[in-house]
Amino acid sequence: MKKKKRITNRTFLLTAVIGSLLVIAMVTVNSIWSSNQTRLETDEAVSAVSRFYLDTMADRRAQTVSNQIDNEFNQMEKALVFIKDEKIESQEELRETLGKIKNLLSLNRFALVDQDDVVYTQYTTYTGKSRHEFLSEEKMDDRIISTVSLYGSSKQLCLAIPTPDLTIMSKPFKACFVQIDIKEIIDLLAVDDQGRTYFALYSKNGSNLSGTELGPIISDQNIFEATKEFVSEDVWKENFNRFAEDTRGSMTFSSGDVKETLCYVPIWGTGWELAVLIHESVILDQIRDISEKNLSTNRNQIAFTLLAVLFFSAVLLQELRALSKYELDAEKEASKAFQNMASTDSMTGVRNKHAYSEFENALNQEIQNREIQKLAVVVCDINGLKYINDTQGHAAGDQLIKEASTMICNYFIHGAVFRVGGDEFVVILQEKGYDTMDEVLGELNEKVEANIKENGVVVSIGSSVLQPGDQQLHDVFARADHMMYERKKELKSMGAKTREI
């Protein structure tokens, strides 16, 4: 059978300490990893959130511009209906009508164009073919939306509607149009968000149409000229093509510590791209604040948990040790009691033959090692026990044994008393018991001799001390036993009862 490994206190403590350290290390590493992962993923999440936020914002603003364009077209249609109903006969009446339209429909720069490309506004009439690009179109079938760059860098949105059925002053008119300053459109989009977002309108080649600044890096420059050095060639080309193809997209770029994300969406019919830009730091700072607070809370929780683990582990270890000790002591006590039970004579309460054998073995070792000097063996034998058993019964015999044992114990108070046979006791004397042996033996023998006359307990006693030549306790015992038999004869002569009587 395999021998079980013994678990010592040291092993237990070592296991507990290594286990605790491992748990702490795992929790710490996990916390650091989680923290770093959180930061990384927060950055990624910020990019995603930024784009989503900008996408939504760009869509809303593009929709606002589209709505404005639709509204302008609707007003122009109403203006045409109004003009048709007016029955205009002269240029003065036409100018007056255009003035009414301005007041009624808020069309500030509404103009009509006749078949000779002469433009009529509220205050001027001019030949406009070179000034308005849409007039160079051979045929106007539908609404036209175009961007006009005026001398002096002003940029305007031109909305034109063909008017095939319009005749004024007997002249056929080919179109009406309005030109809206792009800055006015930008005013519609302005939102006071404390400079967190920027937006601008761009032509397909990336030229800024609105004159608004798209953040500090791009500013009011051509969007592609400005970003060329901050993004990879692939990203740059991809976005350049998206602009040219009038599709939506997004781009993130960094310059120094500044990280910016922009989203752009086409505005239907205009050939424009509306770009919205946000400093990622704006969202990042906010998310990081929240994240840092959470991380800080988690760090505290983990630290607190670790402390709690350490504390409870220590308490548990302590309790475990205490419990183990208690159990161990209990076991020892039980073992001791069991051992005592096995070594004690149940009748007299002194140690029995088994205890004597163990004690003898232990003493033999010491005798052989010459570790012991003072050792004496006293052999006691109860006289007349058989006689009492036979004549008065075993109970009386047992009583005699008990009385004899008590008498022996009372005299040899510094000795170890063993009942080694039915009527035989051995007393081992060491140290003080050895020193007082002769005196005690004298007193005991006197008592025994007195008991012969008084019909009391009579015990034959023989004794011997350890001699230099003795190899074992039995050597001493043999001499004492021999002496005991001599004494028994002597006592018989004094009238003491013997087995034979």
Site residues for other proteins, 179-218, by CB under 8 A, read: 207-209, 211
From candidates 138, 151, 187, 341, binder to other proteins by CB under 8 A: 151
The residue among 73 and 230 lying less far from other proteins, judged by its C-beta, is 230
The alpha carbon dihedral of 393, 402, 427, 411 has a sign of negative
Q: Choose the stretch contacting other proteins; rule: CB under 8 A; options: 28-36, 191-199, 460-468, 476-484.
A: 28-36
CB of 345 to other proteins, least distance (A): 35
Which residue is listed with tokens 């936020």? 53
From candidates 90, 154, 318, 357, binder to other proteins by CB under 8 A: 154
CB of 75 to other proteins, least distance (A): 22
Q: Can you tell me whether residue 175 is helix, strand or coil?
A: strand
From candidates 291, 343, 405, 460, binder to other proteins by CB under 8 A: 291
Which residues on neighbouring strands pair with residue 252, listed in sequence order?
Answer: 261
Q: CB of 375 within 8 A of CB of 428?
A: yes
Does position 48 bind other proteins by CB under 8 A?
yes
What distance in Å separates the CA atoms of residue 91 and residue 298, rounded to the nearest whole number?
80
CB of 322 to other proteins, least distance (A): 10
- Residues in region 375-434 near other proteins by CB under 8 A: none
Cα 484 → chain centroid: 82
Strand order in the sheet with 375-382: 415-419, 424-430, 375-382, 459-465
Does position 221 bind other proteins by CB under 8 A?
yes
The residue among 180 and 401 lying less far from other proteins, judged by its C-beta, is 180
From candidates 305, 368, 373, 467, binder to other proteins by CB under 8 A: 305
CB of 151 to other proteins, least distance (A): 4
**Residues of 421-457 as b/e, b for ≥16 C-beta within 10 angstroms?**
eebbbbbbbbeebbebbeebbeebbebbeebbeeeeb
CB of 43 to other proteins, least distance (A): 8
What distance in Å separates the CA atoms of residue 3 and residue 23, rounded to the nearest whole number?
32
Does position 20 bind other proteins by CB under 8 A?
no
Which residues on neighbouring strands pair with residue 211, listed in sequence order?
Answer: none
Does position 7 bind other proteins by CB under 8 A?
no
Does position 231 bind other proteins by CB under 8 A?
yes
Q: Choose the stretch contacting other proteins; rule: CB under 8 A; options: 226-234, 422-430, 462-470, 479-487.
A: 226-234
From candidates 251, 265, 376, 437, binder to other proteins by CB under 8 A: 251
Q: Is 499 exposed, middle or buried (0-12, 13-18, 19+ CB in 10 A)?
A: middle
What distance in Å separates the CA atoms of residue 397 and residue 385, rounded to the nearest whole number?
6
Q: CB of 396 within 8 A of CB of 499?
A: no
Q: CB of 477 within 8 A of CB of 379?
A: yes
Q: How many residues bind other proteins (CB under 8 A)?
A: 72
The residue among 329 and 490 lying less far from other proteins, judged by its C-beta, is 329
Q: Choose the stretch contacting other proteins; rule: CB under 8 A; options: 56-64, 250-258, 362-370, 383-391.
A: 250-258
CA dihedral 54, 55, 58, 64 (to 10 degrees): -130
The residue among 252 and 344 lying less far from other proteins, judged by its C-beta, is 252
- Residues in region 321-360 near other proteins by CB under 8 A: 323-324, 327
The residue among 173 and 356 lying less far from other proteins, judged by its C-beta, is 173
From candidates 15, 188, 196, 312, binder to other proteins by CB under 8 A: 312
| Local structure of residue 135 (DSSP, 8 states) | G
What distance in Å separates the CA atoms of residue 437 and residue 357, rounded to the nearest whole number?
22
The residue among 312 and 485 lying less far from other proteins, judged by its C-beta, is 312
Does position 309 bind other proteins by CB under 8 A?
yes
CB of 218 to other proteins, least distance (A): 11
194: nearest Cα among 293, 286, 267, 290: 286
Reported as half-sphere exposure (CB side, CA atoms, 13 A), residue 111 has a value of: 23
Q: Choose the stretch contacting other proteins; rule: CB under 8 A; options: 25-33, 71-79, 170-178, 347-355.
A: 25-33
- Residues in region 75-134 near other proteins by CB under 8 A: 95, 118, 123-127, 129-131
Does position 281 bind other proteins by CB under 8 A?
no
414: Cβ–Cβ under 8 A, 6 or more apart, which residues? 429, 431, 432, 433, 436
The residue among 127 and 467 lying less far from other proteins, judged by its C-beta, is 127
- Residues in region 446-485 near other proteins by CB under 8 A: none
74: Cβ–Cβ under 8 A, 6 or more apart, which residues? none
